[in-house]
Amino acid sequence: MSGAGGGKGTKMTRMLEGAGDIVRTHRLRKEFEDLVAVDDLDLKVGPGLLYGMIGPNGSGKTTAIKMLVGLLRPTAGKAYVLGEKVPIVDNISRIGYMPQEMAIYADLTVHENLELFSRLYSMDRELFEKRERELLKVIDLSDRRDALVSQLSGGMKHRTSLACALMHDPEVVFLDEPTVGVDPELRVGFWKYFADLKARGKTVIMTTHYMDEAVRCDLVGMMRLGRLIGEGTPKELMAMTSTSDLESAFMTMARKVGT
């Protein structure tokens, strides 16, 4: 039981405030000079869920994710991941993060990238080899294991990046636009894998702007101008707005909020 039972009072309080939820934020806010990127965001994501954040570019999805994984300091508000206040330290190896950009080393091979990240998590050799085989199958790159990343197509790089984020089998994984540039056939494979992760009790928090994908999420948070304008299961959201797809649901929600 990592993190729990620490003797310090502050730690106990921290644990209690975010207890039970994988991610919990309270009026989380990020301002960049004159821009409010995330505006008093209240999020609550329980364990074993596929949570999708949807919204147009500039709606604050990436900024929110970056605060949760500890790359950006919130201007105000609170955020807890795995019960620990961000930026998390004790539980850092229990999360995985896939940035929007490629974020892998182009002059290393696929295998070397995976190995590097496994080492950063102090994984032992045997476990690494097992995980590598498994993940290479998911991203369909088993035959390109020893290819230099710089020689891969954009989609392949993207898949490698996803595999790096999942290497250490994290309990919660933050994926920023994981399916961009991934062809439809493989995307189906990805979703199968996400469902698999979920079945194993893992939590997936992802951003996307493919509305048709978001339908597959358990919970969808609609973001616009840094605010959460609607949240619920895809069905609830469509029912609430009397629409038949998430895209229209989003539009209706946006009109309702005004602006």
Partner 1 sequence: MPLIMITIFGYTFGGDVKNIDVCVVNLDQAPANQSMAGAIISELGTRDTLDIVRVYSPSDAYLDPVAIGREKVEDADIWAIIFFNETFTQDAAAIAGDGTGQSALVRLIADGTNPNIVQAISNDILTAIRAVLGTSAFVVPISISTDLVYGEGARFIDFFAPGVMGLAAMMVTFMLSIISFIHERTTSTLDRLLTTPVTEGEIVAGYALAFGLVGLVQSIVIILTAVALFEIQIVGNPFTVLLIIFVFGAGNQGMGFLLSSLAKNEFQAIQFIPLILFPSLLLSGVFWPIEAVPAFLRPVSYFVPLTYAVEGMRSIMIRGWGMGSIWPEFAVLVIFAGIMLLLSAYSLRKRR
- 117 sits near partner 1 (criterion: CB under 8 A): yes
Q: Which of 12, 35, 101, 188 binds partner 1 (CB under 8 A)?
A: 101
- 75 sits near partner 1 (criterion: CB under 8 A): no
Residue 73 CB, nearest distance to partner 1 (Å)? 6
Alpha-carbon torsion (82, 88, 94, 96), positive or negative: positive
- Structural contact between residues 14 and 80, judged by C-beta atoms closer than 8 angstroms: yes
* Closer CB to partner 1, 101 or 196, in the complex: 101
Q: Which of 19, 35, 42, 73 binds partner 1 (CB under 8 A)?
A: 73
Q: How far apart are CA 129 and CA 126, in angstroms?
A: 5
* Closer CB to partner 1, 45 or 104, in the complex: 104
Q: What is the DSSP string of 207-228?
A: EE--HHHHTTSSEEEEEETTEE
- Structural contact between residues 67 and 30, judged by C-beta atoms closer than 8 angstroms: yes
- 104 sits near partner 1 (criterion: CB under 8 A): yes
Give the binding-site size for partner 1 (rule: CB under 8 A). Answer: 27
Q: Which of 121, 129, 186, 236 binds partner 1 (CB under 8 A)?
A: 121
Report 168-207 residues binding partner 1 (CB under 8 A).
none
Residue for token pair 């009790």: 201
Stated as kind and residue range, the H or E segment containing 23 is strand 23-32
- 120 sits near partner 1 (criterion: CB under 8 A): yes
The length of the chain is 259
- 237 sits near partner 1 (criterion: CB under 8 A): no
Residue 258 CB, nearest distance to partner 1 (Å)? 34
- 105 sits near partner 1 (criterion: CB under 8 A): yes
Q: Which of 99, 178, 221, 230 binds partner 1 (CB under 8 A)?
A: 99
- 106 sits near partner 1 (criterion: CB under 8 A): yes
Please give the structure tokens belonging to residue 22.
Answer: 């994988």
- 154 sits near partner 1 (criterion: CB under 8 A): no
**Nearest Cα to Cα of residue 140 among 168, 120, 110:** 110
Q: How far apart are CA 258 and CA 200, in angstroms?
A: 40
* Closer CB to partner 1, 172 or 229, in the complex: 172
Give me the helices (H) in 18-109, please. 61-68
Q: What is the DSSP letter of 148?
A: B
Rule CB under 8 A: which residues touch partner 1? 66, 69-73, 87, 92-93, 95-106, 117, 120-122, 164-165
